[in-house]
Amino acid sequence: MISVEQALEKVLSYFHELDAEDVRLLHALGRVLAEDVYSDIDIPPMDNAAMDGYALQAQSTVGASRSSPRVLRVTGQAAAGHATTRQVVAGAAIRIMTGAPVPKGADSVVRFEDTDEDTRKSRGQPLTEIGIVCQAEPGLNIRRAGEDIARGSLVLKKGTALRPQEIGVLASLGRKAAAVVRRPVVAILATGDELVELGKPLPSGKIYSSNTYSLAAQVVRYGGIPKILGIARDNVRSLETKIGQAADADLLITSAGVSVGDYDIVKDVLARQGEISFWTVRMKPGKPLAFGLLRVGNRTIPHLGLPGNPVSSMITFEQFARPAILKMLGRKNLDKPCVRARSESEIKNTDGRRIFARVRVSRQNGQYQARLVGPQGSGVLMSMAQANGLMIVPEAVSSVRAGDEVVVQMLDWDEEM
Ligand code: AMP
Ligand code: MG
């Protein structure tokens, strides 16, 4: 038996960051930047007003106060989006709106609140003159060209995971596209004579292939592109044909056929087509896992063989396939978010494996509490549906009692918890 860490290290050693592709800006969300991005413009592009007010020369306001305003001639208006040709001279001001370019000659903007504009308006006086009631310093309420981003500067580094704010930064540079790491294509193949495709009637003794869809959904959630290969039957021909369809994938995930019962067919096929190891991993659920390289056509593809039980396949996906996908996507942090919580349930660990127990985490008085959700059988997919986390019971811990502090790997990390 090998540990979860040993298995993960071995799996990850087969994966590397994929090549880059250019995508339209919005498609870059959640992706990893594959280029250093420099700005070829200043942002803001010109000095502009940070407040609505009056653009003027600070020297025209020397000595101004509420009791002794400096009265200036108003020689024009400047609105955002429009360049003013008018110049500001000593003793004059231009009425200016936030974001409007600062007119030539002006070195500061005095906001409306520091003028007598309201008083003049309430008296019905025209705004041909304005009283300034405070003394301005040069630069007051002016956003300088290049203050946010200077032309020629490195704005976003290669390797940055793009969130909405980085998408906004790229848009502010006028970029319609970005070079990002390509998304891996992950082929998904279910195996088993008992499996039925969705949309078909369900004969007795058969089940729908739920793994196909839970695994494909996990691939999507973590940024890959699923390629559903359907169902291979428990015979050599069927398996070989289906595996042949994975030729363009970056990873092939199969479910079932790796436990002792049906080891042999899958093992034969895999042995013929590549170098696959069959591991027993010290974890529960999980345990049987196949991993290695398969020759498909003229390509060699990493293959991860997950156990067939619906809970086991999802949990082994989280532990091994998710980090592999994230690594291919160029992500640096491959760990799942964990929280420390107080267990409200009791769990026995009888055979020294690492247990991933399905729990519901909630927050009470600022502390996380984790409670087991119903039956924990590795075939009980509803336990995954009810859970938002996996409580980790370490190999060396023989029991968790109510009140013990535990680590929970979060399946979801949303605000509703
Ligand atoms: P196996 O690994 O083939 O022994 O399968 C273990 C259990 O998982 C059996 O009960 C299978 O019926 C079930 N199983 C295998 N593949 C799937 C699948 N694609 N969807 C749902 N259950 C499955
Ligand atoms: Mg089977």
Cβ atoms < 10 Å from Cβ of 385: 10
Q: Copy the structure tokens of residue 57.
A: 């020369």
Tell me the Ramachandran region of residue 250: left when phi exceeds 0, alpha when psi lies from -120 to 50, beta otherwise: alpha
pTM (2 decimals)?
0.91
What is the rounded distance in angstroms from the CA atom of residue 124 to the CA atom of residue 132? 18
CA dihedral of 70, 74, 80, 83, whole degrees rounded to 10: -120
What's the whole-number mean pLDDT along residues 103-116? 98
Contact indicator for 321, 253 with CB cutoff of 8 Å: yes
Per DSSP, 66 falls in state: S
Nearest ligand 1 atom, CA 256 = 2
Nearest ligand 1 atom, CA 309 = 8
What's the whole-number mean pLDDT along residues 154-165? 98
**Whether residue 286 has its Cβ less than 6 Å from ligand 1:** no
pLDDT digits (tens, 9 = 90+) for 386-417: 999 999 999 999 999 999 999 999 999 865 55
Distance of CA 190 to the CA centre of its chain: 28
pLDDT the model gives residue 175: 97
**Whether residue 261 has its Cβ less than 6 Å from ligand 1:** yes
Q: In sequence order, what are the residues at sequence separation of 6 or more whose Cβ sits closer than 8 angstroms to the Cβ of residue 133?
A: 64, 65, 66, 69, 114, 115, 116
pLDDT the model gives residue 24: 98
Q: Copy the structure tokens of residue 210.
A: 């739920």
Check whether 383 has a pLDDT greater than 90: yes
Q: Per-residue confidence at 372, pLDDT binned at 50, 70, 90?
A: very high
Tokens 């041909």 — which residue?
128
CA dihedral of 228, 229, 235, 238, whole degrees rounded to 10: 170
Arithmetic mean of pLDDT over the chain:
95
- Read off the amino acid at residue 372: L
Cα 279 to ligand 1 centroid, rounded to whole Å: 18
Cβ atoms < 10 Å from Cβ of 89: 16
The secondary structure element, H or E, covering residue 15 is: none
- Which ligand ends up closest to the CA of 308? 1
pLDDT the model gives residue 276: 85
User: Which range (10-14, 262-266, 313-317) has the least confidence?
Assistant: 262-266
The secondary structure element, H or E, covering residue 315 is: helix 310-316
pLDDT digits (tens, 9 = 90+) for 171-219: 999 999 999 999 999 999 999 999 999 999 999 999 999 999 999 999 9
Contact indicator for 107, 58 with CB cutoff of 8 Å: yes
Q: Per-residue confidence at 259, pLDDT binned at 50, 70, 90?
A: confident
pLDDT digits (tens, 9 = 90+) for 111-146: 999 999 999 999 999 999 999 999 999 999 999 999
Contact indicator for 338, 409 with CB cutoff of 8 Å: yes
CA dihedral of 126, 127, 129, 130, whole degrees rounded to 10: 130
pLDDT the model gives residue 415: 56
**Whether residue 141 has its Cβ less than 6 Å from ligand 1:** no
Q: Copy the structure tokens of residue 244.
A: 């042949």
Check whether 105 has a pLDDT greater than 90: yes
Handedness of CA 18, 19, 24, 28 (dihedral sign): positive
Handedness of CA 102, 104, 110, 112 (dihedral sign): negative
**Whether residue 257 has its Cβ less than 6 Å from ligand 1:** yes
Task: Report the DSSP pairing between strands 185-191 and 251-255.
Answer: parallel
CA dihedral of 354, 359, 363, 364, whole degrees rounded to 10: -100
What's the whole-number mean pLDDT along residues 41-67? 97
What is the rounded distance in angstroms from the CA atom of residue 93 to the CA atom of residue 87? 9
What is the rounded distance in angstroms from the CA atom of residue 34 to the CA atom of residue 46? 30
**Whether residue 305 has its Cβ less than 6 Å from ligand 1:** no
Cα 210 to ligand 2 centroid, rounded to whole Å: 14
Mutation to probe ligand 1, out of 204, 211, 382 (largest number of atoms < 8 A from CB)? 211
Contact indicator for 104, 88 with CB cutoff of 8 Å: yes
Q: Cis omega (within 30 of 0) on the bond before 69? A: no
- Cβ burial of 8 (10 Å; 0-12, 13-18, 19+) is middle
pLDDT the model gives residue 346: 97
What is the rounded distance in angstroms from the CA atom of residue 61 to the CA atom of residue 5? 70
∠ Cα 362 365 369 (to 5°): 30
The end-to-end CA distance of the chain, in Å, is 36
Q: Copy the structure tokens of residue 289.
A: 């896992």
Contact indicator for 227, 255 with CB cutoff of 8 Å: no
Q: In sequence order, what are the residues at sequence separation of 6 or more whose Cβ sits closer than 8 angstroms to the Cβ of residue 272?
A: none
**b/e sequence 284-310, b meaning 16+ C-beta within 10 Å:** bbbbbbbbbbbebeeeebbbbbbbbbb
pLDDT digits (tens, 9 = 90+) for 15-35: 999 999 999 999 999 999 999
pLDDT > 70: percent of the chain: 98
